[in-house]
Amino acid sequence: MRDDSLLYSGLTSASAQKVKERREAKTDEKTRKRSELLPANEVVFKEIAKEKAMLGQTLLDIVDESTPDEQVTEKLIAVRIYAKWLGEFETRLKNVLRTKVGNE
């Protein structure tokens, strides 16, 4: 005789409804949090753009003529790492603050 008991998850239509309600509540909470952050998003992205624009000047400020080539290379690598982090941070913020056109 075949045992199909592993195929049944134990979900009934009543418990599936609870899952759907929890999912909707979680979506509503994300939407509420996003809407709280939206007024500040222009300011935040302007500041990130300013910081990106100042990266070249930052390198010039931390390096002078007497700086050995090794240290210049290390500082350049550090500025590149910071620029990469700044870009990734901006992407994460855009993902958090994005609005879904069809759902609202």
Helices (H), 11-68: 13-37, 41-53, 55-62
Dump pLDDT digits (tens) for 21-75: 888 888 888 888 777 777 777 888 899 999 999 988 888 888 888 889 898 899 8
What pTM was computed for the model?
0.59
Average pLDDT value for residue range 1-24 = 70
Residue 58 backbone phi and psi in degrees, to 5 = -60, -45
Q: What angle separates helix 55-62 from helix 69-97, to the nearest 10 degrees? A: 150
